[in-house]
Amino acid sequence: MSESPAATKPLSTALILLMAVATGLAVASNYYAQPLLHTIAQELGLSMESAGTVVITAQLSYGAGLFLLVPLGDLFEQRRLIVTMTVLSAAGLLLSAFAPSLTWLLIGTAVTGMFSVSAQVLVPMAASLTDPQSRGRVVGTLMSGLLLGILLARTVAGALSSAGDWRSIYLLAAGLMFISAISLFFALPNHHHSAGLSYPKLLGSVFKLFVEEPVLRLRSVLGLLTFSLFALFWTPLAFLLAVPPYNYSDGVIGLFGLAGAVGAVAANWAGRMA
């Protein structure tokens, strides 16, 4: 395993915050639709079941990106990889913003979800560029950005939808992602982290680690169960709250995302304690 010389340079506070914001924006792209499902279903003439496939597509494509694209961080220069992923994710958001039908919305969602895993390249990159004494703090900061992106995406999406149109959040998010890509291109150092394995062997190593590491298996199962329950809660919640007896607007539905914001703050605190 080898790393580029850039790994020895300390990260500035400004760069750490930029990486945290970029991480949050990337993962947020997968959650904008959740409080808007009822509104999307009404505009596109969809059933609740059909509208719910938007959420499923986002999660499945994100999972595919984790498995197929994140290992590329061990093969290619990470700054270019992250910037490319961010631009492609922004393109998916634009496609969703102008989607005339469910099919195009699903395609845009899949593209966005697949390449939003730039967040999962940013976090290990930050860790490898940081000295051991500061690593917990830096990773905790990026994880706070990631969790805040997941949680606040619903609140922001709901507010913008109530103020205007559900497509506006996708347009805004695409613009922010393009700005993020440009900022990362100029701010991130060149960094290549090589595992010394070919792409097929990198994919195979995932299964090998899963078999050989019991702690990894446990954390993987816990993560699977947690996010499955999270999705099972949020997908029907939007439909439940949008109809009688509640009749809540998208903005009010999105406010439920604030309930978990304390977890994001806790992640940063836990990182500092590590």
Degrees to nearest 5, angle at CA 227 with 104 and 254: 65
Q: What is the CA radius of gyration of the chain?
A: 19
Per residue in 175-223, pLDDT (tens digit) is 999 999 999 999 999 988 776 788 999 899 888 888 999 998 998 898 8
Would you place residue 58 in the very low, low, confident or very high pLDDT band (cuts 50, 70, 90)? very high
Burial 123-155 (b: 16+ CB within 10 A, else e): bbbbebbbeeeebbebbbbbbbbbbbbbbbbbb
**Residue 35 reports pLDDT greater than 60:** yes
For each of the domains in the chain, give its residue range(s) and CATH number, in order of start.
Answer: 9-273 (1.20.1250.20)
| Chain-centre distance for alpha carbon 223 | 15
The amino acid occupying position 175 is G
- Report d(CA 6, CA 245) in Å as an integer: 58
Which residue, among 144, 142, 26, has the nearest Cα to 86 in the 3D structure?
26
**Residue 131 reports pLDDT greater than 80:** yes
**Contact present, 78 and 117 (Cβ < 8 Å):** no
Q: How many CB atoms lie within 10 A of CB 164?
A: 11
